[in-house]
Amino acid sequence: MSKQTVLNATHRALGAKMVDFGGWDMPISYGSQIEEHHAVRRDAGMFDVSHMTVVDLEGERVRDFLRRLVANSVDRLKTPGKALYTCMLNADGGVIDDLIIYSRADGAFRLVVNAATRDKDLAWITREAAPFAVQVRERPELAIIAVQGPNARAKVQGLLSPELAAKAAKIGKFVACEGDGLFIGRTGYTGEDGYEIIVPQERAVELWNRLQAAGVAPAGLGARDTLRLEAGMNLYGQDMDETVSPYEAALAWTVALDEGRDFTGRAALERQKAAGVPRAMIGLVMDEKGVLRHGQRVVTANGDGEILSGTFSPTLGKAIAFARVPAGDPGAVQVDIRGKLIPVRVVSFPFVRDGKPCDGV
């Protein structure tokens, strides 16, 4: 029996097509997935992401704990409200999960981790936290609604109390504020501006309905996937997992090898860096018609790799993908689609930012 978010009946009443996602019964689309995608790029859309796991951390040594737990440096969070994207690694440098860490006013921290990895994440975090006497508290009573798009912030602010609206209007990107029982982060997974709103479950349906009345389009996990791939953002389980280091998943920017910080996996990453990272994650665009998909073989000058995330990009009107390939200049790259080798271009990503194709894509 799959789990349901508090918005499940709301999705069904809107006619959503539901699918199993990491053990949760979630909307993949409410009608046209492509229209939902465009709504986020051009105006404002919202996603129920209540399946994701909110974990609150408290304790005197919580900062020390986070310095050890994750590969990015929590010391970058100098003021309350700041957020950090990072990976949590095992001793071999493999990615256990990717997550966002928010600092909060009272020295506490809030983590948001993936739904499909909830059990192993909680077990790992709880075990690692014990020596630091840090309290780990899952918050299943909280729902999350991500409101994304060029008009998303204004539409959300219009529904808040004047005090909270003023706070929410002021926060910069990757910063959160709190008030009236809501936790509002200027974060997201679409490459557009917007908020992710953590709201008590019993208020989530009302918030959703008010957002819809304000012209925010419900969007499903299908559009979420095409939006995040256009935005060059990784999906755990598809683009990286415990057998892949952040260096092999284009996440070097999230690794802080700062002086004297002994985070789990650091020694393995330093060994890998010294010896040479064997594989790289690259971005691909296909100018021919067709769709790049997970698992397709990628032929490069240095040997074969494979497509990780691949999709049709509604903004570009052509297929885009991440691929993991042997390190080094890949030369002319081709993808094996049903036995035919189709030429593709290697491009840097994001593919799309703020609604527009990036240069060279």
Partner 1 sequence: MNEIPGDLKFMKSHEWARVEDDGTVTVGISDHAQGLLGDLVYVELPNVGDTLEVGAGCAVVESVKAASDVYAPVAGEVIKVNSALSDKPETINEDAYGDGWILVVRPTNLQEDMENLLDPDAYAEQLDNEDD
Q: What angle do CA 331, 231, 72 make, to 5 degrees?
A: 90
Of the listed pieces 184-192, 257-265, 306-314, 327-335, which binds partner 1 according to CB under 8 A? Answer: 306-314
Query: CB-hemisphere CA count at 13 Å for 214?
Result: 22
Does residue 309 bind partner 1 (CB under 8 A)?
no
Q: How far is the CB of 28 from partner 1 (least distance, A)?
A: 7
| Residue of 108, 268, 277, 291 that binds partner 1 (CB under 8 A) | 291
CB 335 within 8 Å of CB 286:
yes
**Among the residue ranges 60-68, 120-128, 241-249, 308-316, the one whose residues contact partner 1 (CB under 8 A):** 308-316
Q: What are the CA-CA distances from residue 242 to residues 97, 236, 310 (Å)? A: 8, 10, 20
- Which residues does 244 contact at the CB level (< 8 Å), separation at least 6? 94, 95, 279, 324
Q: Smallest gap, in angstroms, from Cβ of residue 312 to partner 1?
A: 4
Q: 263: closest CA among 57, 69, 111? A: 69
Nearest-angstrom CA–CA distance, 135 and 126: 8
x-marked contacts with partner 1 along 218-237 as a string, rule CB under 8 A? ----x---x-----------
CB nearer to partner 1: give 25 or 138: 25
In the complex, least distance from residue 154 CB atom to partner 1, rounded to whole angstroms: 28
Answer positive or negative: Cα dihedral of 314, 316, 318, 322: negative
Burial class (CB in 10 A: 0-12, 13-18, 19+), 335: buried
> Given the rule CB under 8 A, which of 52-60, 126-134, 238-246, 309-317 is the region that contacts partner 1?
309-317
Could you tell me if 318 and 229 are in contact, meaning their C-beta atoms sit under 8 angstroms apart?
no
The answer to whether 295 contacts partner 1 (rule: CB under 8 A) is no
Q: Which stretch binds partner 1 (CB under 8 A): 4-12, 95-103, 113-121, 289-297?
A: 289-297
Interaction with partner 1 in 34-53: which residues (CB under 8 A)? 34
Q: Count of CB atoms within 10 A of residue 162's CB?
A: 8
Q: Which of residues 199 and 235 has its CB atom nearest to partner 1 in the complex?
A: 235
Is residue 33 close enough to count as binding partner 1 by CB under 8 A? yes
User: Is there binding between residue 28 and partner 1 (CB under 8 A)?
Assistant: yes
Tell me how far, at minimum, the Cβ of 289 lies from partner 1, in Å: 6
CA-closest candidate to residue 251, choices 88, 68, 82: 88
Contacting residues for 133 by C-beta, under 8 A, at least 6 apart: 59, 60, 61
311 near partner 1, rule: CB under 8 A = yes
User: In terms of CB distance, is 69 or 319 closer to partner 1?
Assistant: 319
Site for partner 1 in 1-20 (CB under 8 A): 17
> Residue ranges of the alpha helices (H) in 197-345?
201-213, 221-230, 266-275
Instruction: Check binding of 297 to partner 1 (CB under 8 A).
Output: no
Residue 103 engages partner 1 in binding (rule: CB under 8 A): no
8-state DSSP, 190: S
Of residues 120, 173, 271, 289, which one binds partner 1 by CB under 8 A?
A: 289
| Minimum gap (Å) between residue 361 Cβ and partner 1 | 17
How many CB atoms are closer than 10 A to CB 271? 11
Q: Are 246 and 89 in contact (CB under 8 A)?
A: yes
Contact residues for partner 1, defined by CB under 8 A? 17, 28-29, 32-34, 222, 226, 289-291, 293, 311-312, 314, 338
